Structure 1
Amino acid sequence: MYDLLKGLRVVEGSAFVAAPTCGLYLAQMGAEVIRFDNIGGGPDFRRWPLAENGSSLYWEGLNKGKKSIAIDLAAPAGREIAQRLAAAPGPDAGLFVTNFPVDGFLSYEALKKRREDLICVRVMGWADGSQGMDYTINSALGLPLMTGPADDPRPVNHVLAAWDLLTGAYCAFSLVSALLARMRTGEGREIRAPLSDIGAATMANLGFTAETLLAGHQRPRMGNDIFGAFGRDFTTRDGQTLMLLAITPKQWSKALEVLGLAADVAGLEAELGVSFAADEGLRFTHRARLYPLFEQAFAQRTAADLGPAFDAGGVTWGAYQPLEAALEDPRLYKGNPLFEEIRHPSGLSYPAPGAMATLRPDARGPVQAAPKLGAHTDEVLAEVLGMSASEIGDLHDAGVVAGADGR
């Protein structure tokens, strides 16, 4: 946790990954993020992975450092509370993150009537308002047909919700940008961030779309080969799988030196009339001739021999390892100051990350756990909306709001 955004109040009405990720990043930079959910939890409150007691580890991870208020969003009084929260007064408030539909009680038009300079960041599936999620957007972009073994035509979905995560980060950036503009002009705005547009733009930014337009077809599958460069997995004598990547001339020459392949590769260069050191694309083009040389060299050496030699030579490589092993890796988890063991609302204690960037010279604050659902209901109603104790009690009695005990 850092305090760069200390004093900002962001209200979040969301579910799933993208919008909660936006709120998480803002909270980790010091903003007060108030998430409202239905009493009993929204559609992501019990989402897998689950702890043995049924608590969602997913929900605990994406809502660290936020405040929680539970509202009956089907009731008119509950919807009014959500609107009032989103448009609450204050120079550092009026910031709303959501993935609710563009129409309805949380539409920008409805909220703007309550606060003219409101900034609303709205995550969407498709830009036309139709429903879409990470995996369906990904399938539409063609990536599952580029992923996987070259000899298997079946689409391959990756397990990382990449478009959700990119969208969440882009939304946090967009919100802060809009806030800076509001400080200069006094104007609010709605920011619509469809996963489809994030995905389409990213594919274009990386050259995928231009490549396909010019070639007349999308990139073929190529297994674990790194497109346009020399990189692939290789197996050592002791059965370990290592990833080797050689992009720069230095990486390439050092890899050849460690593997004892300089003479063999020089002979291949002479035969083909090329210089692999000068052009990484040539290494990719002629990978079918290079791979057997590398496979043989790896098969003659153990991972214990290659690892230190690669490191000493500045070779870019990595061992394939399961997450269980990664958890013991000091470069990733064990001993990493990014992580802190905390107690979560599930009652479990396990390491959780704070802000992913290290902001020097700022000191890291302690990692804040996710709240229990409804833990801050009374506090938020009193401090943000200025409700009296009797008004709050009436809302509890009517079942419009609930605390951490569900009542």
Structure 2
Amino acid sequence: MTTSSKPLAGLKVIELGSLIAGPFAARIMAEFGAEVIKIESPDGGDPLRKWRKLYQGTSLWWYVQSRNKKSVTVNLKHPAGREIVHQLVAEADIVVENFRPGVLEKLGLGWETLSAINPGLVMLRLSGFGQSGPLAQQPGFGAIGESMGGLRYVTGFPDRPPVKTGISIGDSIAALWGVIGTLMALRHKEQNGGQGQVVDVALYEAVFAIMESLLPEFDVFGFVRERSGNIMPGITPSNTHSTQDGKHVTIGANGDAIFKRLMHTIGRDDLANDPQLADNAGRDTRRDEIYKAIDDWVAAHDESEVLRALAGAEVPASRIYSAADMVSDPQYLARQMIETATLPDGRPFKIPGIVPKLSETPGGTEWLGPALGEHTDETLQRLGYSASAITALRAAGSV
């Protein structure tokens, strides 16, 4: 599918962010057709270019996080550089930024300035604590948002300190809320004479917003949800179990009919037919007994035997997937979730497919994360800068 037939085709996005939250939000927009111009410092660009595993000096993460984006180098500390951003904003629909509140204002690139240039602008602002409140000026990464938002407190085992997930989940959650909010703001703009607005996403709030019934349970009952390992008290059975061959299988059988099928499958007709266990409330009062029965059965079988038996009984279950499992899995392949791209030296490599799947206007990968400043000259030429003017800007360190 060409860019012009994607659902966000025609939208122009200026990305002023770096690392994770802002760039991930802009990545989603780029995957679905928006023209995303990523503004980077001429001095090294986005630090993500050098994060985690590097291939010939460039992060493999970078190639995915910045796919379909254009890289334009601009020194925001130079007046000529800021003027370039002003010109880009004048023709843009969206600005995405994840600086600490106040930084862009000091540079003359805050909301008041940019919205005066373009009253229809939608500005997505992602930060640790939001644009207001006593902590607004404090630095806050995803790890802080996960901690303050409650996710870390409930993650792990009760006899051990809180743990993090294996990815920067707080940043990614905030990015998703940011995209949702931006699309809402664009809808408002369509319905209200082109009026733009700020979409203000705080990382801790983004995490807090997905914490299910954590707050009302505390407010009504004084109940503080604690770490519970792989089970979730109040929802039984749902757990991870170890197989005879040392693998791990997650089984979710908390539906009433599913629970009965599971119990019949593991040879526990007595539990399947026990009226006290006919609903979740009854099962949760006897969860230790239920989990022991499942543990004992799983431990007596190899992973393949467990998964085959549970699939036959239509009980939701899965091995714990590593990357090695994903790349050859029939479901991943059938859903085009494993794409093959090509590194600059011609080497093919696998990258994640696009989410979500749209039936008529799907997203797609047009190109991988660009070289630093790869699109600077073409963008400046489009704005009307001559070749000599661009040379002068580069000599002055403005781009």
Q: So what's the TM-score if we normalise by structure 1?
A: 0.87
**2:69 aligns to what?**
66
Paired with 2:242 and 2:224, the residues of 1 have a C-alpha distance of: 30
Q: How does 1:345-356 map to 2 (within 5 A)?
A: 345=344, 348-356=347-355
Q: Which amino acid aligns with 2:221?
A: A
Identify if the C-alpha distance between structure 1 residues 294 and 94 changes in structure 2 by more than 3 Å, giving closer, same or farther: closer
Identify if the C-alpha distance between structure 1 residues 346 and 143 changes in structure 2 by more than 3 Å, giving closer, same or farther: farther
Q: How does 1:300-319 map to 2 (within 5 A)?
A: 300-319=300-319
Matched, 1:223 2:229: yes
The offset of 1:308, in angstroms, is 1.7
The offset of 1:289, in angstroms, is 1.6
Paired with 2:363 and 2:189, the residues of 1 have a C-alpha distance of: 29
- Contact conserved, 2:380 with 2:390, CA < 8 A, in 1? yes
Paired with 1:168 and 1:318, the residues of 2 have a C-alpha distance of: 28
**What whole-Å deviation, never above 9, does each CA across 1:201-235 have from its counterpart, x for those lacking one?**
332xx111111223324212211113322111222
Paired with 2:393 and 2:197, the residues of 1 have a C-alpha distance of: 32
SS in 2 for 1:202: coil
The offset of 1:322, in angstroms, is 3.0
**What whole-Å deviation, never above 9, does each CA across 1:329-372 have from its counterpart, x for those lacking one?**
2323x565233211235865312234212211446655421111
**1:251 aligns to what?**
258
- Contact conserved, 1:119 with 1:179, CA < 8 A, in 2? yes
Name the stretch that deviates more: 53-62 or 187-196: 53-62
**2:78 aligns to what?**
75
- Contact conserved, 1:345 with 1:371, CA < 8 A, in 2? no
- Contact conserved, 1:340 with 1:367, CA < 8 A, in 2? no
SS in 2 for 1:275: helix
The offset of 1:25, in angstroms, is 0.7
Q: Which amino acid aligns with 1:10?
A: V
SS in 2 for 1:257: helix
Identify if the C-alpha distance between structure 1 residues 304 and 176 changes in structure 2 by more than 3 Å, giving closer, same or farther: closer
SS in 2 for 1:295: helix
**2:390 aligns to what?**
392
**1:213 aligns to what?**
219
2:90 is matched with which residue: 88, 91, 96?
88
Q: How does 1:135-284 map to 2 (within 5 A)?
A: 135-152=143-160, 154-184=161-191, 185-203=193-211, 206-229=212-235, 230-266=237-273, 269=274, 274-277=275-278, 279-284=279-284
**1:99 aligns to what?**
98
Paired with 1:171 and 1:364, the residues of 2 have a C-alpha distance of: 18
Q: Which amino acid aligns with 1:88?
A: A
**1:117 aligns to what?**
120
Identify if the C-alpha distance between structure 1 residues 363 and 116 changes in structure 2 by more than 3 Å, giving closer, same or farther: closer
Paired with 2:184 and 2:151, the residues of 1 have a C-alpha distance of: 30
1:108 is matched with which residue: 104, 108, 111?
111
Identify if the C-alpha distance between structure 1 residues 78 and 190 changes in structure 2 by more than 3 Å, giving closer, same or farther: same
Runs of 4+ in 1 over 6 A off after TM superposition: none
Name the count of aligned residue pairs. 385
Matched, 1:39 2:42: yes
- Contact conserved, 2:42 with 2:74, CA < 8 A, in 1? yes
Name the stretch that deviates more: 11-20 or 256-265: 256-265
Kindly, what percent of the aligned residue pairs are identical? 29
SS in 2 for 1:34: strand
> Unaligned stretches of 5+ in structure 2?
none
Q: Which amino acid aligns with 2:96?
A: V
Paired with 1:157 and 1:366, the residues of 2 have a C-alpha distance of: 30
Q: Which amino acid aligns with 2:330?
A: P
**What whole-Å deviation, never above 9, does each CA across 1:284-332 have from its counterpart, x for those lacking one?**
2311121222222223333232222211221101112433233332323
Q: Which amino acid aligns with 1:233?
A: T
Paired with 1:70 and 1:48, the residues of 2 have a C-alpha distance of: 19
- Contact conserved, 1:63 with 1:370, CA < 8 A, in 2? yes
Identify if the C-alpha distance between structure 1 residues 10 and 215 changes in structure 2 by more than 3 Å, giving closer, same or farther: same
Paired with 2:360 and 2:39, the residues of 1 have a C-alpha distance of: 34
Q: So what's the TM-score if we normalise by structure 2?
A: 0.89
Two-structure CA RMSD over aligned residues (Å): 2.2
Q: Which amino acid aligns with 1:145?
A: Y
The offset of 1:84, in angstroms, is 2.4
**1:404 aligns to what?**
none
**1:6 aligns to what?**
9
